[in-house]
């Protein structure tokens, strides 16, 4: 007889709820999403869970497993043998039902970011080493686990002051593109709230795509904001460079 | 039927095991807090950090001596590494987690007292000054040059070239501080990271790109450089302090 594992799954909606325990048989290679599907098929047909690809590519099944933001489909159950597996929806966003939370705020934020604006006419040729850097950011699957773990959004609910790590990655993707002609540095310094981030790196720790969000996106963007707004020497050189055309700094 | 996935489960389980979230902030409080207390004691209680040809990193360069000041001589130097480390992107993570609980660990709720205070991140004084990290880096490079001078001096004894245990400690310290300084995120931006296109001049990788790539590799271990160099500064100063106090004499290797 196969080993059983106990799942404690949050059941409820915006009005409240509680964790309910379910026992499922553990089979080799089983991930948490498999177990949730077992529960859904045999014990609680009304259990709500968002999922799609079951291959860690769509970013749909984000949740919190034993207090850690993770993808349900990428978390193996044999890591939890002998423990109760607590499964909760993402805490940063409003809950819709059970494990499904409302992530629509993220799509509203996405609309505020100016789209890619090529500096030269397409099609253009680029060297691979020029685009290696931004290709890391293309790996993002928009699971929003980084948004979920970010304490600025999670503990301080500062959604009106900070776009969150996901959108710092998005802006870095555009800003560091070798053919980008737009300038999002003023957006970062003001509306996007880059300096609300205090670089505690939790976003990097939970990213299932292993994007080095803090080191490769947020910190380089902070340095670019410092270049433009904080560095008096660079401002001086910029003024000298721009003075013949009377452009402002 | 063979189950190759299961073969590695035991090992993987070990790898997956996370330490409790409080271990890292507790370590930061003990190590960083201990160093700060030691540094305050060193600065306030001593005016000399030189033992024969060895100079403690707390007292180099001898800025106070240049101006004929003989009290609190370390104070005129230590502010440079202090602001460099305080504004360092790696240490920000450590002290925000360890000392401010902003947050203490990932997905760990912040203390209830934070709810009554408006969070401003690095927008307000003094944390907004972290934006000037590059200037702290410029100053740290100047101090580092003097530390390398001291390291060379540590191998030159009265009777010529020699190697003492202190020479080795100061050499290790200089190497680790160099690693820490040149793996800095601000330096990574300066050296090439601020460019969007590395080939736009002639279609070939620019010198800035090559340096940026190199610094990016060192940068991955910036945290390790940060801790290692902190402990090496501590060890070098303590070693020289014990020599000055006459607790033991410096063993000469040759």
Residues B174-196 have pLDDT tens digits of 999 999 999 999 999 999 999 99
Supply the pLDDT for residue B9.
42
Interface check A198 vs B, CB under 8 A: yes
Whose tokens are 């944390």? That residue is B127
* Range scoring the smallest mean pLDDT among A212-216, B9-13, B206-210: B9-13
Whose tokens are 């340095």? That residue is A223
Would the CB atoms of A130 and B133 count as touching at under 8 Å?
Answer: no
Write the DSSP assignment of B99-158 as a string of letters: TS-TTSSTTPPPPGGGGGS---TTSSTTGGGGGGHHHHHHHHHHHHHHHHHHHHHTTEET
> What is the tens place of the pLDDT at every residue in A22-46?
999 999 999 999 999 999 999 999 9
User: If you average pLDDT over residues B59-66, what whole number do you get?
Assistant: 90
Q: Is the pLDDT of residue B14 over 90?
A: no
Would the CB atoms of B199 and A127 count as touching at under 8 Å?
Answer: yes
Pairing of strands A85-88, A4-13: parallel
Smallest Cα distance from A110 to chain B, Å:
22
Would the CB atoms of B122 and A155 count as touching at under 8 Å?
Answer: no
Span between the terminal Cα atoms of chain B, in Å: 65
Distance CA A201, CA B164 (A): 41
- Per the CB < 8 A criterion, the answer to whether A215 and A197 are in contact is no
pTM: 0.92
List C-alpha distances in Å: A222 to A194, B1, B131, B145: 7, 53, 8, 28
* Range scoring the smallest mean pLDDT among A89-93, B5-9, B75-79: B5-9
Residues in chain B: 254
Distance CA A209, CA A140 (A): 7
Q: Which residues of A touch B1 (CB under 8 A)?
A: none
Which two tokens mark A131? 């685009």
Would the CB atoms of A230 and B197 count as touching at under 8 Å?
Answer: no
Q: Kindly provide the ipTM of the predicted complex, given to two decimals.
A: 0.90
Supply the pLDDT for residue A246.
42
Supply the pLDDT for residue B17.
56
- Per the CB < 8 A criterion, the answer to whether A1 and A80 are in contact is no
Of B9, B189, B197, the CB nearest to A178: B197
> What is the tens place of the pLDDT at every residue in A194-217?
999 999 999 999 999 999 999 999
Would the CB atoms of A178 and B119 count as touching at under 8 Å?
Answer: no
Coil, strand or helix: which one is B219? Answer: helix
Supply the pLDDT for residue A121.
87
Which two tokens mark A177? 């593109």
Would the CB atoms of A219 and B185 count as touching at under 8 Å?
Answer: yes
Of A129, A198, A231, the CB nearest to B96: A198
Q: Where does the pLDDT of residue A241 fall: very low under 50, low under 70, confident under 90, or very high at 90 and above?
A: low
- Per the CB < 8 A criterion, the answer to whether A241 and A227 are in contact is no
Classify each residue of A14-40 as buried b or exposed e, where b means 16 or more C-beta atoms within 10 Å of its C-beta: eeeeeebebebebeeebbbbbbbbbbb
- Other C-beta atoms lying within 10 Å of the C-beta of residue B220: 11
Supply the pLDDT for residue A247.
41
Of B5, B107, B200, the CB nearest to A149: B107
Supply the pLDDT for residue A144.
98
> What is the tens place of the pLDDT at every residue in B223-243?
999 999 999 999 999 999 999
Interface check A177 vs B, CB under 8 A: yes
Pairing of strands A68-71, A16-25: unpaired
Q: Which residues of A touch B88 (CB under 8 A)?
A: none
Distance CA A4, CA A77 (A): 11
Higher per-residue confidence, A127 vs A1: A127
Q: Is the pLDDT of residue B29 over 80?
A: yes
Of A233, A172, A180, the C-alpha closest to A197 is: A172
Supply the pLDDT for residue B200.
87
Smallest Cα distance from B178 to chain A, Å:
20
User: If you average pLDDT over residues A131-151, what whole number do you get?
Assistant: 96
- Per the CB < 8 A criterion, the answer to whether B42 and B58 are in contact is yes
Distance CA A157, CA A189 (A): 19
Supply the pLDDT for residue A1.
53
- Segment 81-100 of chain A within 8 Å of chain B by CB: 81, 91
Share the mean pLDDT of chain A: 93
Domains of chain A, first to last = 4-100 (3.10.20.30), 104-237 (1.10.1060.10)
Supply the pLDDT for residue B10.
46
Helices (H), chain A: 32-42, 104-111, 128-138, 145-149, 151-154, 165-175, 185-189, 202-206, 219-229, 232-242
Up-side HSE of residue A155: CA atoms within 13 Å toward CB? 27
Smallest Cα distance from A207 to chain B, Å:
12
- Per the CB < 8 A criterion, the answer to whether B105 and B93 are in contact is no
Smallest Cα distance from B220 to chain A, Å:
8
Higher per-residue confidence, B253 vs B27: B27
Choosing among A223, A228, A238, which should be mutated to test the B contact, i.e. which has the most B CBs within 10 A?
Answer: A223
What percent of chain B has pLDDT above 70?
A: 93
Q: Is the pLDDT of residue A248 over 50?
A: no
Would the CB atoms of A205 and B106 count as touching at under 8 Å?
Answer: yes
In sequence order, what are the residues at sequence separation of 6 or more whose Cβ sits closer than 8 angstroms to the Cβ of residue B36? none
Q: Is the pLDDT of residue A138 over 80?
A: yes
> What is the tens place of the pLDDT at every residue in B106-160?
999 999 888 888 999 999 999 999 999 999 999 999 999 999 999 999 999 998 9
């Amino acid at each position: 007889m196969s080993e059983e594992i106990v799942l404690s799954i949050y059941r409820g909606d915006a009005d409240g709820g509680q964790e309910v325990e379910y026992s499922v048989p553990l089979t080799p290679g089983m991930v948490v999403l498999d177990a949730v599907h077992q529960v859904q098929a045999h014990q609680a047909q009304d259990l709500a869970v968002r999922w799609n690809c079951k291959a860690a590519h769509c970013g749909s099944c984000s949740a919190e497993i034993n207090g850690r933001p993770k993808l349900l489909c990428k978390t193996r159950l044999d890591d939890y043998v002998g423990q109760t597996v607590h499964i909760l929806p993402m805490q940063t966003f409003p809950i819709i039902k059970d494990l499904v939370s409302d992530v629509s705020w993220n799509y509203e934020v996405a609309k505020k970011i100016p789209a890619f604006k090529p500096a030269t006419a397409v099609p253009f040729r680029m060297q691979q080493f020029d685009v290696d850097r931004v290709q890391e950011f293309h790996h993002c699957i928009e699971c929003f686990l980084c948004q979920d773990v970010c304490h600025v959004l999670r503990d301080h609910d500062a959604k009106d002051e900070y776009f969150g790590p996901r959108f710092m990655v998005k802006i870095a993707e555009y800003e560091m593109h070798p053919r980008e002609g737009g300038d999002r540095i003023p957006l970062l310094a003001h509306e996007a709230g880059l300096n609300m981030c205090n670089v505690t790196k939790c976003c990097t720790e939970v990213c299932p795509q292993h994007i080095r969000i803090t080191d490769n996106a947020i910190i380089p963007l902070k340095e670019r904001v410092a270049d433009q707004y904080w560095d008096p020497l660079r401002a001086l050189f910029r003024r000298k460079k721009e003075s013949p055309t009377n452009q402002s700094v | 039927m063979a189950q190759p996935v299961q073969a590695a489960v035991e090992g993987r389980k070990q790898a997956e095991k996370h330490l409790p979230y409080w271990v890292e902030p507790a370590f930061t409080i003990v190590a960083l807090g201990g160093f700060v207390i030691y540094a305050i004691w060193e600065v306030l209680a001593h005016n000399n950090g030189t033992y024969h040809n060895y100079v403690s990193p707390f007292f180099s360069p001898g800025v106070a001596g240049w101006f004929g000041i003989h009290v609190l001589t370390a104070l005129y130097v230590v502010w440079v590494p202090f602001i460099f480390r305080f504004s360092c992107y790696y240490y920000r993570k450590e002290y925000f987690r360890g000392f401010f609980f902003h947050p203490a660990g990932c997905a760990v709720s912040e203390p209830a007292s934070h709810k009554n205070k408006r969070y401003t991140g690095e927008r307000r004084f003094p944390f907004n000054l972290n934006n000037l990290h590059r200037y702290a880096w410029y100053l740290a490079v100047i101090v580092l040059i003097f530390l390398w001078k001291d390291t060379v001096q540590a191998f030159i004894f009265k009777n010529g070239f020699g190697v003492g245990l202190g020479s080795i400690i100061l050499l290790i310290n200089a190497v680790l501080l160099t690693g820490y300084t040149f793996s800095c995120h601000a330096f990574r931006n300066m050296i090439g990271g601020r460019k969007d296109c590395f080939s736009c001049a002639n279609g070939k990788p620019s010198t800035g790109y090559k340096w940026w790539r190199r610094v990016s590799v060192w940068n991955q271990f910036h945290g390790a450089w940060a801790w290692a160099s902190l402990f090496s500064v501590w060890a070098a100063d303590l070693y020289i302090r014990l020599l000055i106090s006459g607790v033991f004499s410096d063993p000469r290797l040759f």
